[in-house]
Amino acid sequence: MVIVMNPKATEKDISDVTNTLKSLGLGVHVSKGAHVTIIGVIGDKSILADTPLELMSGVDKIVHIMESYKLAGRTFKPESSVIQVKNAPIGGKELAIIAGPCAVESEEQLIKTAQAVKKCGAQFLSGGAYKPRTSPYAFQGLEEDGFKMLAQAREETGLLIVSEVISANSVEIALKYIDVVQIGARNMQNFQLLREVGKAGCPVILKRGLSATIEEWINAAEYIMNEGNYNIIFCERGIRTFETYTRNTLDISAVPVIKQISHLPIIVDPSHGTGKWRLVEPMAMAAIAAGADGLMIEVHHDPKCALSDGPQSITPDNFSHLVQRINKLAPIMDRQYNIVH
């Protein structure tokens, strides 16, 4: 918190304010400019609740510079968090690779893709059972049947399952079948849903909202953490800008920003981030080079026939190429990633 004194404030006004702060045990840093004196206040500001500093003589305004979030911030927890999903850690030295079709379409489609991404070394299979589509006429997902197919794919491949939830009801159903729930971009500020996954306690991938600032995004995590669930992984998936060549503008700078101000891990989704399959691999490389803890990639065995997001889906062959390049980059970033053949 910073107290900006009025240009007409006297020396006595300034010392009255600093003495009041010191008498409450707060640290005080005074910076005297040519016209204005600014007083920086250090310590637990909650004790100022009953001290109306704004009313003291010579005080112009009070500026609160403390973050609007607490639990998700590094001030609260300086060391990086590692989210453990069964035997797979997210946020440690090992990169987390999540891959799968945008939507679960059929048993055959899912298992083909699951086996292919497993062969390349992905630890997680993603697939949407509930699809929050922009158009109400587009394919909306197989719902619980989709979760059943995902659970079946886990049985057959050992991959851990990530899938989106869109309502309190879908959280309850999802947790019977899957390992990590995903909050999609369109629901990042669905506070009721955030509270629901907070109560559920399960690992959560929290995608960045379409037009969300980093602070709004961290506050969405704060809603989940406030319910006692600290198992959150941020996912940068691109934001809306004036650029229309790509579907979204992938904000790679969000990766080091989140790393600096939050202890939670962050992964990147270059599929939704670009909307174009040819851009997925270069942006995946950029994400890992920027310090991301993992990737979320849309893979389809036949993208031109995909029921959802075909243009940004890569084939298993292209996914294999991508992970081989990530594997070369990983040691440079002091990360581990091993292709399992």
Q: Is 247 in the site for ligand PEP (CB under 6 A)?
A: no
> Element (H or E) spanning 109, and its range?
helix 107-120
Give the one residue of 102, 235, 250, 288 binding Mn ion; rule: CB under 5 A: 102
Q: From the list ligand PEP, Mn ion, none, pick the one residue 129 interacts with, judged by a Cβ distance below 5 to 8 Å according to partner type.
A: none
CB nearer to ligand PEP: give 134 or 260: 134
Instruction: For residue 112, give the DSSP letter.
Output: H
Q: Is 237 in the site for ligand PEP (CB under 6 A)?
A: yes
| CA 18 to each of CA 6, 8, 23: distance values in angstroms, whole numbers, following the listed order | 14, 17, 9
Residues touching ligand PEP: how many (CB under 6 A)?
Answer: 8
Give the whole-angstrom CA distance, residue 264 versus residue 82: 7
Burial state string for 48-68 with b = 16 or more CB within 10 A and e = fewer than 16:
beeeebeeeebbbebeeeebe
Alpha carbon 38 to chain centroid distance? 36
The dihedral region occupied by 112, where left means phi > 0, alpha psi between -120 and 50, and beta the remainder, is alpha
Report the residue closest to ligand PEP, judged by CB.
Answer: 184
Give the whole-angstrom CA distance, residue 95 versus residue 88: 10
Q: Which stretch binds Mn ion (CB under 5 A): 97-105, 204-212, 220-228, 320-328?
A: 97-105
> In the range 177-196, which residues lie near ligand PEP by CB under 6 A?
184-186
Q: Is 300 in the site for ligand PEP (CB under 6 A)?
A: no
> In the range 280-319, which residues lie near Mn ion by CB under 5 A?
309
CB nearer to ligand PEP: give 5 or 284: 284
Q: Least separation, in Å, of the C-beta of 207 and ligand PEP?
A: 4
Q: Is 301 in the site for ligand PEP (CB under 6 A)?
A: no
Q: Residue numbers of the site for ligand PEP (CB under 6 A)?
A: 102, 128, 184-186, 207, 237, 272
